[in-house]
Amino acid sequence: MNPRPAPADVARRIAERSAQLGLTEGQLANQAGMAPRYLRQLVEADTGFDPSGLLRVAAALHLTYQELLEGRRDPPSGQGGAPSRPVLVRLTTSECWDKLGTHGVGRVVLLALPAPLAFPVNYTVDAETVVYRTTPHGAAAAESGAAVSFQVDHIDDHLRRGWSVLITGTAHHVNDPDTVRQLDQLPGTEPWAGGDRPLWVSVAPDQITGRRVGPG
């Protein structure tokens, strides 16, 4: 049996979600069909929750009942808070490539109007070059010769540490059939988004920089 959620945790989730949606306490109570006083009593109760009342609150916040009581199962990373006495360290070039590993998910940043655009893509590292596959006319299909950036990061909420690597360079379309076949055999080449994505784009680095942060 799951442990009973702490009222303070439920209250915090309600406050955070209300702020995200721009709802005052009165507006939330109105949408949940209850008086603001009852809403406060509902959250602060120490003897037990009223499931039907919290279900109405969850619906007003566009959450499931389980998400309201226990939190989201897939929250964005970085919600564990900053480390105590954080130390920021620059990574060497070899450390940057070590962090990138052989493959993963990163963000390619393309020049566009009215502002640059970033797209998450599966990437593979081949001879200190980042490559990814996309559709020829897709949003992430950088033009050959275009200046691009590529960024990968990782946050460990439990240990309160993380790192980020940024590559700036030039995009090139990979057209050689033999090279394409070799890339197809590398790990992590199957796009998470699915579909036919025959265009390989390589990002030849002009500069690679990285940082890691953690407790002092």
pLDDT in tens, 84-113: 788 889 999 999 999 999 999 999 999 988
Burial of 187 (0-12, 13-18, 19+ CB in 10 A): exposed
User: Which structural domains are found in the chain, ordered by start?
Assistant: 7-70 (1.10.260.40), 86-215 (2.30.110.10)
**Is residue 134 predicted with pLDDT exceeding 70?**
yes
**Is residue 48 predicted with pLDDT exceeding 70?**
no
List the one residue out of 78, 6, 15 whose CA is nearest residue 44. Answer: 6
| Per-residue model confidence (pLDDT) at position 87 | 86
Taking residues 108-120, what's their average pLDDT? 92
**Is residue 47 predicted with pLDDT exceeding 60?**
no
**Is residue 1 predicted with pLDDT exceeding 50?**
no
Please check whether residue 37 is in contact with residue 66, taking contact to mean a CB–CB distance below 8 angstroms.
Answer: no
pLDDT in tens, 157-193: 777 889 999 999 999 999 999 999 999 888 778 887 7
**134 DSSP assignment:** E
Whole-structure pTM value: 0.69
Taking residues 9-18, what's their average pLDDT? 87
**Which one is predicted more confidently, 191 or 2?**
191
